[in-house]
Structure 1
Amino acid sequence: MTVFAHGLGGSIADTRPLGSGVSGTRVFLSFRGHGASEPLRVGWTYRDLADDLLQVADEYGATRAVGTSLGAGALTRLVADAPGRFERLVFFLPAALDRPRPVEARSRFAAMVSALEDDDPERLAAVVTLEVPEPNASSTAARAYVRQRVAALRAPGIAEALRRLPTLTVLPSADALRAVTAPALVLGCAGDPLHPAGVAQALADALPSAQLHLYPEPGVLWNQRADLRRRISSFLAVR
């Protein structure tokens, strides 16, 4: 059984492609304030999100976990608190660990917050479009992605979450991960301001049984989807 955790303003639909080649039962969660879960009314921490993930993992008996971006942070926090909870771990595009986010990431979040506060979906869409590789930006798939993501980001409480996110670290120190013995796969990429390659490297270095793969450019789900699916499914298939 594998549980999948999405990113901020993401959804179950965003994590389904990661599980398409994964054997066994798969369960996809929606974090608080996302999808059909309760709207955000107060701020949250990575430990709160780790609690969401643990609750779903325990309910379904998941032994493997895949976290994307914010979900990777929640998974990191969870295994720091419960090192033996999972048998295998995948972290895709980890965005934060034990240091503040870089200036470019904070600027991107600030632009999203500003557009949300001004109730300007067109400006928000322009910021979200920066997440799509330029060659794909005018495609039908990209336009659908931007529409869906803008709608998700406009959900109640997400603006406050975006405002808080740059100030949060997942852990006080990456040393908290030294007790995690489960094999881990860390997948990052170069050139992504929201998911710096240095964070993926630091996470892999901190996990005792981790392997790291860095893609050469952003937009992995756009231009390396088949390879990404293969890496995740092959890693999780090992007993």
Structure 2
Amino acid sequence: MPEGPNLHLHRHGDGPAVLWLHGYTMDSTTWQPLWERLPGWTHIGVDLPGHGRSAPLTPGLTLPALAGQLAELAKETGARRAVALSFGSMSALQLAVQEPSLLDRLVLAAPTLAGTPNEDSARVRYQQLAMLYRMTGPGEPLADLWMQSPPDIFTGTERHPALRAALRSVVARHTWAELGNRAMDALTAHHHTADDLRRITARTLVLLGDEDMPAFTRNAELLRDTVPDCRLETLRETGHLPLLERPEECAPLIAAHLA
């Protein structure tokens, strides 16, 4: 399986290729419950820079540059479909805007648009994480702080103790190096405009938890109203991580959309 210079790939299954982009502080191992419910595809999980087994996030890496790396992966693997969650959806959106001819189908859960207002509680928590990182370095205390509410990123996992424990193990492995070198600054400096979103030609499905934070509800509605071919599905009693919280409900929706 080809890999970019900085990106580790996790492959599962056989069939047409689908790229999967995970959320912040996670990695491709989180997709396994969904992949097992979606036979007939080659699922290609991309560990984003600074996550999982990929190379560290380099200061100065921009969102268009990262989308360029993903475009090369799409070409090399033949993937014309992508599924992305939260932070990963920002990169998937940029790929669909920047290289519209590469993707036929796009699934975005808890969509993140570059340059749009985030939850104030998320900004405060990130500042707290940076302070704790300077005092203690990486490890379980940062994972526990990150998974506290507010912000309500992991609140929905409280209904699913096994999932929450598994995610804590993944988050506890995160290096948090971006807190020390501010490598996220250039990556998040981009801005997605309405004109950008109108460039997307992929048929798009947006999945939203009915208990997600207001910023992501606004993003989902903006995509529904702006992307030329976009449908929004809302899952009941679901928080910010619908693909992980409700794999049994999301899998049929994704399967029908990717087909």
How many pairs are equivalent? Answer: 234
**Equivalent residues in 2 for 1:38-117 (5 A)?**
38-117=55-134
How far off is 1:56 after superposition? 1.4
Report percent identity of matched pairs: 25
Query: In the alignment, which of 170, 189, 198 is matched to residue 148 of structure 1?
Result: 170
Per the alignment, do residues 215 and 115 of structure 1 end up closer, same or farther by CA in structure 2, a change over 3 Å counting?
farther
Alignment pair present for 1:8 and 2:24 = yes
Question: Unpaired segments of 5 or more residues in structure 1?
Answer: none
Query: For each residue in 1:159-214, what CA deviation from the matched residue of structure 2 results, as whole angstroms up to 9, or x when unmatched?
Result: 5458638963442x122121322211011224434962111111222210000012
How far off is 1:94 after superposition? 1.1
Query: For each residue in 1:45-65, what CA deviation from the matched residue of structure 2 results, as whole angstroms up to 9, or x when unmatched?
Result: 322321232121111011111
- TM-score (ref. length: structure 1): 0.84
How far off is 1:140 after superposition? 4.5
Q: Is the 8 A contact 1:18 1:232 kept in 2?
A: no
Q: Is the 8 A contact 1:128 1:150 kept in 2?
A: no
Per the alignment, do residues 140 and 235 of structure 1 end up closer, same or farther by CA in structure 2, a change over 3 Å counting?
closer
Q: Output the CA distance in 2 between the equivalents of 1:49 and 1:124.
A: 26
Per the alignment, do residues 22 and 207 of structure 1 end up closer, same or farther by CA in structure 2, a change over 3 Å counting?
farther
Q: Output the CA distance in 1 between the equivalents of 2:81 and 2:244.
A: 25
Q: Output the CA distance in 2 between the equivalents of 1:111 and 1:97.
A: 22
Code of the residue aligned with 2:142 in structure 1: it is: L
- Partner of residue 189, structure 1: 209
Q: Output the CA distance in 2 between the equivalents of 1:11 and 1:85.
A: 24
Q: Is the 8 A contact 1:4 1:66 kept in 2?
A: yes
- TM-score (ref. length: structure 2): 0.78
Alpha-carbon RMSD across the aligned residues, in angstroms, is 2.7
Code of the residue aligned with 2:208 in structure 1: it is: G
Per the alignment, do residues 223 and 27 of structure 1 end up closer, same or farther by CA in structure 2, a change over 3 Å counting?
closer
Q: Output the CA distance in 2 between the equivalents of 1:183 and 1:230.
A: 16
Query: In the alignment, which of 17, 24, 33 is matched to residue 17 of structure 1?
Result: 33
Code of the residue aligned with 1:156 in structure 2: it is: A
Q: Output the CA distance in 2 between the equivalents of 1:189 and 1:162.
A: 29
Alignment pair present for 1:133 and 2:151 = no
| Deviating more after overlay: 74-83 vs 19-28 | 19-28
Code of the residue aligned with 2:136 in structure 1: it is: D
- Partner of residue 214, structure 1: 234
Code of the residue aligned with 1:227 in structure 2: it is: E
Residue aligned with 1:52, SS: helix
